[in-house]
């Protein structure tokens, strides 16, 4: 017996869901729909053109079509429309997935399954789950078979490693493509205990994710944004975040701006943040701005350990600590009484733990700055505060310049093949600087 159904009240909903073209594999793969049910509760009603509508109930009803098995409390078949609908406690199963729902419609002509009401679909190969009000797919198995869910569904992507934590994705529209790819569109929210992300759309698998449209991801105390953001996983753990296009990274004591930013994630903390790409890359701690064609920050225990800037590299010490909310730009390396600075073909800087007598708790302090290649520097320091509060000025240029700091203030300047000028203020409170 062949049958398919759909009550009149469901036609509008079904038309909204059938928005995906039937794939080539569905053509020519039609099967004979069969029913098993208590015959005493079956009613077959003839139509005006010789077709029939069949109502089946009175116990568990089973529909079979190829490799698909569908069970429910009752079923209705519209012969002319070639549609079958199951109602109540519906369970569907084929070789690639299982599904539970309140209602299920099977369209014989396109081999499409449409489910509605408390839908839960599980991919058998990966265990990936989809929960939502409605979902549709084509029964015939294919390498790129699609499952689409609307109405703000939730996807749960299990970890690649046994016992790992799953990733939860909420979006306006969700889609499984084959066994290893998933897509989400519209107000996407992705979360796990170790990271949180938002975007307009995303695509991901068990080992990689990509976010588009105002993406923001926060992990290990650092937030990244850009035109797009890529995440990579290793053995189920977040391993890398790569922001591309107008990239920005913000942490407790660090901000980066560049065309691209790459962040390596360790088991407990951020281990590296690399800013690069066409144009200038900028980094800022509360008391320093660092610029170059590329900038590479290294971390130890979540704290900044060192920084390397390459390509017309510059570092500026700020007179006042900058606010975390303040925008920053690359200052000028002026010869005057402005900001202290050092520049060269490359700069390496080392940080030390905060000194509460000079900075806020947790704020990183510069311990050493080393510039190499066409190096220049202009730094100031108060050498003897009992004599004068005015600062000495030290301008130098050479092959290499090495500045050592104590408690975040420059203490010693060393140089290779260098010349310079040292300006000492006049003695006394009222003395004039020469």
Say whether 426 sits in a helix, a strand or coil: coil
| Residues with Cβ within 8 Å of residue 367, at least 6 apart in sequence | 350, 351, 352, 404, 405
Domains and CATH numbers, the chain: 1-151 (2.60.450.10)
The encoded tokens of residue 206 equal 């068990």
Tell me the average pLDDT across 344-371: 77
pLDDT tens for each residue of 84-101: 899 999 999 998 899 999
pLDDT tens for each residue of 116-170: 999 999 999 888 999 999 999 998 766 568 899 999 999 998 887 777 888 999 9
Say whether 12 sits in a helix, a strand or coil: helix
- Give CA–CA dist 426/154, Å, rounded: 72
Report the number of secondary-structure helices (H) and strands (E) in the chain.
Answer: 1, 32
pLDDT tens for each residue of 279-317: 999 999 988 999 999 999 999 988 999 999 999 999 998
- Which H or E element spans position 385? none
**Can you give the pLDDT at residue 32?**
77
The answer to whether residue 17 scores a pLDDT higher than 60 is no
The answer to whether residue 27 scores a pLDDT higher than 50 is no
Tell me the average pLDDT across 105-111: 89
**Can you give the pLDDT at residue 387?**
52
Tell me the average pLDDT across 166-191: 92
Tell me the average pLDDT across 212-237: 93
Strand partners, 258: 247
**Can you give the pLDDT at residue 393?**
78
Buried-state track 17-51, b at ≥16 Cβ within 10 A, e below 16: beeeebbeebeebbeebebebeeeebeeeeeeeee
241 near 224, Cβ under 8 Å? yes
- Give CA–CA dist 282/331, Å, rounded: 11
The answer to whether residue 68 scores a pLDDT higher than 60 is yes
- Give CA–CA dist 305/300, Å, rounded: 6
Tell me the average pLDDT across 193-203: 95
């Amino acid at each position: 017996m062949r049958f398919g159904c759909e009550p009149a009240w469901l036609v509008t909903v079904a038309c909204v869901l059938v928005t995906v073209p039937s794939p080539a594999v569905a053509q020519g793969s039609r099967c004979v729909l069969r029913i098993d049910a208590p015959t005493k509760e079956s009613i077959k009603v003839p139509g005006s053109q010789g077709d029939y509508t069949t109502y089946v109930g009175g116990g568990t009803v089973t529909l079979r079509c190829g490799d698909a098995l569908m069970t429910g409390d009752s079923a209705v078949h519209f012969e002319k429309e070639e549609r079958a609908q199951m109602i109540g406690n519906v369970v569907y199963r084929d070789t690639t997935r299982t599904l539970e729902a309140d209602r299920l419609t099977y369209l014989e002509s396109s081999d499409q399954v449409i489910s509605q009401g408390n839908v839960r679909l599980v991919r058998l190969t990966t265990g990936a789950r989809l929960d939502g009000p409605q979902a549709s797919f084509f029964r015939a198995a294919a390498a790129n078979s699609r499952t689409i869910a609307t109405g703000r569904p939730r996807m749960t992507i299990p970890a690649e490693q046994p016992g790992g934590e799953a990733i939860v994705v909420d979006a306006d529209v969700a889609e499984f493509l084959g066994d290893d790819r998933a897509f989400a569109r519209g107000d996407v929210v992705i979360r796990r205990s170790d990271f949180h992300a938002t975007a307009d759309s995303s695509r991901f698998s068990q080992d990689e994710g990509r976010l588009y449209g105002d993406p923001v991801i926060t992990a290990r105390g650092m937030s990244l944004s850009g035109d797009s953001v890529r995440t990579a996983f290793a053995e189920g753990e977040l391993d890398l975040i790569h922001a591309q296009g107008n990239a920005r990274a913000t942490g407790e004591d660090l901000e980066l701006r560049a065309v691209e930013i790459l962040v390596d994630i360790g088991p407990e903390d951020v281990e590296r943040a690399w800013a690069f790409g066409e144009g200038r890359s900028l980094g800022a701690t509360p008391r320093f701005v660092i610029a170059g064609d590329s900038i590479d920050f290294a971390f130890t225990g979540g704290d900044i350990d060192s920084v390397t800037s390459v390509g017309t590299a510059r570092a500026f010490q700020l007179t006042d600590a900058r606010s975390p909310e303040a925008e920053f730009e690359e200052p000028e390396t002026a010869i005057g009484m402005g900001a202290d600075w050092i520049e060269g073909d490359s700069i390496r800087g080392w940080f030390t733990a905060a000194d509460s007598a000079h900075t806020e708790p947790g704020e990183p302090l510069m311990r050493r700055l080393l510039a190499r290649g066409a190096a220049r520097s202009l730094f100031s320091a108060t050498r003897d505060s009992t004599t004068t509060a005015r600062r000495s000025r030290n301008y130098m240029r050479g092959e290499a310049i090495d500045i050592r700091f104590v408690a975040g203030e420059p203490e010693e300047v060393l140089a290779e093949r260098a010349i310079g000028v040292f300006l000492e203020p006049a003695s006394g409170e009222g003395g004039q600087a020469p």
